[in-house]
Structure 1
Amino acid sequence: MIEMIPSHEQSNPTNVSEKMNAHTIEGLEEILDFLISERRRPGGTVPVIAIDGFPGNDWREIIQTAKKIVDRKSLTIEVYDFDTCRRNDEELENLLTRYLGQDEVFGRVFRRSIATFFSKEKISTLKREISRGRNSKRQDAILVIGWGCMLSPMRGSYDLKVYFDLTREETMKRYKKTGASFGTQSIGPKRLYYIDFPVSERHRRNLFDSLDYYVDANSEDSKALIAAGDLREISREIASKPFRLKPIYEPGPWGGQWLKRVRHLPEEWPNCAWSYEVIAPEMSILVKNRNTTLELPWNLFFDLAYEKIMGVVSGGKFGGEFPIRFDYLDTMDGGDLSVQVHPQTTYIKENFNENYHQGEMYYIVDCKESRRVNLGLRSDASVEEFRAAAENAEKEGMAFDYTNYVHSVPVDKHDILMIPPGTVHGSREGLVVLEISSTTYRYTFKIYDHLRPDLQGVMRPIHIEHAFKVLNKKRRGNWVDRHLKPKPSFVASGNGWTEYLIATSRDFFHEVFRVEVEGEVKFETEGRFHILTLVDGESVILISGKSRRKMNYSETVIVPACAGSYTIETGSGEKCIIVKARLK
């Protein structure tokens, strides 16, 4: 089994200024020793300590380590495992089935409270036991440990509140270690994506203001504790200057060799299909505080610094989510992507409880000669015959020539294609595509996948019913050529630089620019974040206030709205090309 791995940028986190001087404690035993030693007796009563956290934490290890410390210190401490307060499995199964359904990939996002998973009666019983224990003269402290233990009805019962956090990526790695196989692209296994992640992230958002301490628990060997107030200040400081998320790489059945070479990935990998540069919910940011590197989940970082990143965009506009996605698709010396289509906003809301569509754009970063991208239907294509051929391929394993139905367009380096929701499409072999899209990413309705298994030998799911419900039958050859391969439009120029608007449409809430610069150029954020990728040239320096950040070829950086202005500076005599995206 091939696992996702982080890039070598792990060694280059964003530094926190020395003035922050936030204190950290590293190591599970050291953290629990500190927390138990921190116990206080408010009004002479027994203190109650809560340890909540993200799915994937080893709660048994935390409880056993706490008990070991208690024994060593000869203390009398009652430890409660909050998992005993869960509703019974049958009740939960009936509830979750309504959201998970029978499809192996798709469900509906569960947007209800974490309290849904717990029994009110069991919580009431626990609260009574804690209340009695508070007045005991024989106990030194009470510990309540487990997922959800700081849900709203319990929060007032605690004197010290601590949260053990994980990134989505780390949770999935631990999930894989249990022997689970995702069977398809491994971001977002169904139960985690639709239930556990959204519930847990909402819970974390709601309780953060009441936290005393936060623990980065991503390293199984070296967890790190920091005061919650210090973490908030660190996040706001980092979000005031350009920053880069930690990429995630993954091989795939059509993956190429370009990313392996450019990003120095392991030679033993068969290929690298995807590099997730900004698929924000799945990602994290590395922050160095003195000698400690913290890995913060994007959704937490975003919650703590929303206004600095998003500027004038209201929290409700995109459901509180970061709306733009950047990722690479590498088919260089690989294979063709599936023939596929993505849903519109109405369909995705009604069927999957997501907030907005999955519209995409393809920016061609590199390509072989005479390459094409599948885009739209052929002018003479019969949709009924296309569907019949696709169904026959899925059910009977009968290959067919999809080019009888699907139009394609020629592409060169630095071209851009717009792929509004409902447009059949797919990259072919010999291309490096930078996808610049809405953050929604899960809903690839495959029509035809070339009868090709994934790297585990499993056939990837085909979703013909969904695909043909959202397929726009009017997007055909001549119309596609005129409307979906836009020509650059001059915006502005100065000494050594020129900016072009290269993609905008009412089908998208973002627009894309190409900046060609030799020397330096200054931009204003105008209250909106910018996302930048260096698509030609060795490196540039991004300067914002006192911050200077190097951006190497192919890397992606977010400039927060609050930066106000920033300067892109190239090396002596080097011409560089930067792709810039922002909300309209």
Structure 2
Amino acid sequence: MTAQKKRSNYDKYPATIISGQIHIGWDNIRSIFRPLIESNGILAIDMYVGVYESEIAEALEVLHPDKVILTRDLLKSEEEIRNMTARYVTEDILFGYVTPLKLVDYFDPEALTAAKERLEQHDGNAIVLGIGASLIAPASATLVYADLARWEHQLRMRKGSVHSIGIDNSKDTFESQHKRCYFNDWLICDTHKESLFDRIAFWIDTHIEDTPKLIDKATFMRGIDETVNRPFRVVPFFAPAPWGGQWMKEVCDLDREVANYGWCFDCVPEENSLLFSIEGTTFELPSINVVLLRAKALLGGPVESRFGKDFPIRFDFLDTVGGGYLSFQVHPTTHYIRQHFGMKYTQDESYYVLDAKEDAMVYLGLKNEVDKTQMAQDLRDAQKSIMPFDAEKYANKIPVRKHDHFLIPAGTVHCSGPETLVLEISSTPNHFTFKMWDWGRLGLNGKPRPINVERGLEVIDWERDYDYTMKYLVNTIEAVDSGDGWSEERTGLHDHEFIETRRHRFNKKVVHYTGDSVNVLNLVEGEEAIVESIDASFEPFIVHYAETFIIPAHLGQYSIRPYGASEGKECMTIKAYVRFKA
């Protein structure tokens, strides 16, 4: 008799349960909007880039408004917008420069003024629809916002079904569309949305096409406050990769028909979704909204003062079990990323090994006395397909075991090999990898992935050799404290990085302190654990193996103990927070 397969308990759709009203489908939403415009009212529907404007426009046609103003008709010409944004989009395949532009800069000033005047002089009802609708509508209008998470927007980019603000680039490459959004459109839309939180009366979730959901301001704000006053999880996003593996299919219960899953972004609030569960129905919104609205409570005062409304810690999985090598790569230094891309800080990171099979390895740091000139020439020759790059000739090949921790400050060459499940712990800027060698393979689109040999050579720290790597970057683990049924270890990160990581082993309750910083944790060993409040300020929160969860800074103290099937057994968490002292 075949043994029954154990069911995964990984929660792919974590949600904050809240009270409130939710309206599902366009018929129900129209029933809310109809009385608002029948009494000569103005309905303004602003939106995030990537929302299907045509779906909303068609759904509201049956309300027969006296006047409809589409904001896209008020934008500057595409040529003007391309010229205006050229400095920030740049000619580079992947990288642009952080824009200082605001949404109002995209509009023709005369057309904007004329539209406002038409509304002021209009006696009947009206609908204003599109990105920037709030710039035209008077303060007395009912303002609705159609929001969208960045990951859904990226899926729509890949389908060629959306375009950027004022630019019909839907048929451009994904890399080109993504670059424009990363350095321009997303930043512009986030800044604009942040200015509207007090004005927005209703929020629309259009993540699922033709299945819209509407909530009012009170329900939205209740969800934000419930989220930031307890431990919570964002919605993990899984994606295939040229080197992707099979581990997450089993552990996270993913579609077995998909060839592989390489990435799981389980804590990137700028891009992940957040779910509210209202009357048994989920309402999806970008998790960045919590950061924008409750930065001090979530991040902590010292972290907010240092990073503003940026969530500075990222957790994600890299799955190469049954897969291949990641690209041989390096991340830019802080000076380089500021000078060339206008970013505030760089992508320092680490590899925490959640699982490893036989012969698993990583490349990390350079060998002693590397010939820099020859290495540079070999990388250039590999890019020109003259000969494959021999990574082992120049980089340290280090065996990998489960629960190893490899530290990767910017400037360190690195690459995860096959048969490894890496929990990548890093600072948030997640677009700044200089791939120098990609093993001669093609990307998922059947084309070579962009290589950045010259940029990589500019930022490599050549002093990160074997001696340095083994002393400072490999398993720099030290005991910190212990008690009845628990112990705490410091596992990093490197002194050049602002993230601190601590590992706790426990078979009984262990108390944690946020230390005025948001805490991000993952249950790296054990089936289940429960997070509990010391002062009963939040309901107990259950986490499962491999799940990443967030503890808002203002909660102060909390405890974690084994739960359910793990009761009485040893569990382990890895915790990251912002370090204020070395």
TM score, norm. by length of structure 1:
0.91
Instruction: Please show how residues 245-256 of structure 1 align to structure 2 within 5 Å.
Output: 245-256=234-245
1:280 and 1:439 in contact (8 A); partners too: no
TM-fit CA distance, 1:155 = 5.1
Q: 2:44 aligns to what?
A: 50
Q: Give the Cα separation in 2 of the matches to 1:494 and 1:366.
A: 27
Q: Distance in 2 between matches of 1:281 and 1:369?
A: 36
- Matched to 2:141, the amino acid is D
Q: Indicate if the aligned counterparts of 1:48 and 1:157 stay in contact, CA closer than 8 A.
A: no
1:124-523 mapped onto 2 (5 Å cutoff):
124-133=113-122, 136=123, 139=124, 141-151=125-135, 154=136, 156=138, 158-178=140-160, 189-313=178-302, 315-523=304-512
Letter aligned with residue 205 of structure 2: D
Q: Which amino acid aligns with 1:326?
A: F
- How far apart, in 2, do the equivalents of 1:170 and 1:338 lie? 25
Q: Secondary structure at the match of 2:541?
A: strand
| 2:561 aligned residue | 569
The DSSP-based 3-state class of the residue aligned with 1:106 is coil
Q: What letter is aligned with 2:529?
A: V
How far apart, in 1, do the equivalents of 2:182 and 2:389 lie?
A: 34
SS at match of 1:229: helix
For 2:557, the aligned partner's letter is S
Question: What one-letter code is carried by the residue in structure 2 that aligns with 1:247?
Answer: P
Shift in Å, 1:305: 2.2
2:545 is aligned to 553
Counterpart-to-counterpart distance in 2, 1:116 and 1:8? 45
Provide the C-alpha distance between the structure 1 equivalents of 2:148 and 2:239, rounded to a whole number of angstroms: 20
Match of 2:60 among 52, 66, 84: 66
Q: Which residue does the alignment assign to 2:28?
A: 30
Cα distance, 1:423 vs. partner?
A: 0.6
Q: Distance in 2 between matches of 1:379 and 1:555?
A: 38
Q: 1:583 aligns with which of 563, 570, 578?
A: 578
Q: Deviations over 1:276-305 (max 9, x none)?
A: 111221101111122331112011122122
**Matched residue type, 1:27:** G
Change (3 A) 1:131 1:26: same
My pick for the range that moved more, 223-232 or 267-276, is 223-232
**Larger mean Cα displacement after TM superposition, 233-242 or 117-126:** 233-242
Match of 2:88 in 1: 99
Checking the alignment, whether the CA contact within 8 Å between 2:472 and 2:494 is kept in structure 1 is no
> In 1, Cα distance between the equivalents of 2:47 and 2:227?
23
Contact 1:536 1:553 survives alignment (8 Å): yes
Structure 1 gaps of 5+ residues are 1-6, 71-75
Distance in 2, matches of 1:114 and 1:494, equals 54
Q: Which residue of 2 aligns with 1:73?
A: none
Which amino acid is the alignment partner of residue 51 of structure 1? I
Q: What is the CA-CA distance between 1:397 and the residue it aligns to?
A: 4.5
2:37 maps to which of 33, 36, 39? 39
* Superimposed CA distance per residue, residues 297-335 of structure 1 (whole angstroms, 9 cap, x where no aligned partner): 011122122222112235352242000010111111211
Shift of 1:511: 0.5
Tell me the secondary structure at the aligned position of residue 270 of structure 2: helix
Runs (4 or more) in structure 1 with deviation over 4 Å come to 179-184
What is the CA RMSD across the aligned residues, in angstroms? 2.0
Query: In the alignment, what sits opposite 2:67?
Result: 78
**Alpha-carbon deviations, 1:120-155, whole Å to 9, x = none?**
10011111111110xx3xx3x11111111113xx35
**SS of structure 2 residue aligned to 1:270:** coil
Query: Relative to structure 2, which stretch is displaced further, 414-423 or 54-63?
Result: 54-63
Q: Distance in 1 between matches of 2:549 and 2:119?
A: 48
Aligned residue identity for 1:38? L
Larger mean CA deviation between 489-498 and 214-223 belongs to: 214-223
Per-residue Cα deviation, 1:408-444 (whole angstroms, up to 9, x for no partner)? 3233211111111001111111211111110111111
1:39 Cα deviation after fit: 3.5
Within 1, Cα distance between the matches of 2:233 and 2:452?
Answer: 34
How far the C-alpha of 1:25 sits from its partner, in A, is: 1.8
1:4 is matched with: none
Give the Cα–Cα distance (whole angstroms) in 2 for the partners of residues 69 and 142 of structure 1: 10
Q: What secondary structure does 1:267 align onto? A: coil
Give me the whole-angstrom Cα distance separating, in 1, the residues matched to 2:314 and 2:171: 26
Q: Which residue of 1 aligns with 2:3?
A: none
* CA separation of 1:181 and 1:419: change in aligned 2, threshold 3 A: farther
Instruction: Extract unaligned runs of 5+ from structure 2.
Output: 1-8, 162-169
Distance 1:79 1:317 in 2: 44
Give distance in 1, aligned partners of 2:101 and 2:277: 34
Distance 1:443 1:145, change over 3 A: same
The residue that corresponds to 2:4 in the other structure is none
Kindly tell me: are residues 142 and 90 of structure 1, through their superposed partners in 2, closer, same or farther at Cα, counting changes over 3 Å? same
Provide, for residues 528-550 of structure 1, a one-character-per-residue CA deviation record: whole Å limited to 9, x for no partner: 22111111111111112341122
Number of residue-to-residue matches in the alignment: 557
SS in 2 for 1:198: helix
Displacement of 1:195: 1.7
CA distance in 2, matches of 1:454, 1:297: 28
Tell me the CA shift for residue 370 of structure 1: 4.2
Q: Determine helix, strand or coil for the equivalent of 1:171.
A: helix
Quick one: which amino acid aligns to residue 357 of structure 1? T
CA deviation after TM superposition for structure 1 residue 182, in Å: 8.4
Q: Percent identity?
A: 32
| Alpha-carbon contact 2:244-2:260 (below 8 Å) kept | yes
Asked if the contact 2:12/2:236 (under 8 Å) is kept, the reply is no
2:472 and 2:303 map into 1 onto residues whose CA distance is 31
Partner secondary structure for residue 39 of structure 1 = helix
The answer (yes or no) to whether the contact 2:352–2:405 under 8 Å persists in 1 is yes
Q: Structure 1 residues 37 and 277, CA, compared in 2 at 3 Å: closer, same or farther? A: same
Q: Could you tell me how far apart the structure 1 residues matched to 2:293 and 2:108 are? A: 30
Asked if 1 retains the 8 angstrom alpha-carbon contact of 2:22 and 2:215, the reply is yes
Rounded to whole Å, the distance in 2 between the matches of 1:383 and 1:308 is 47
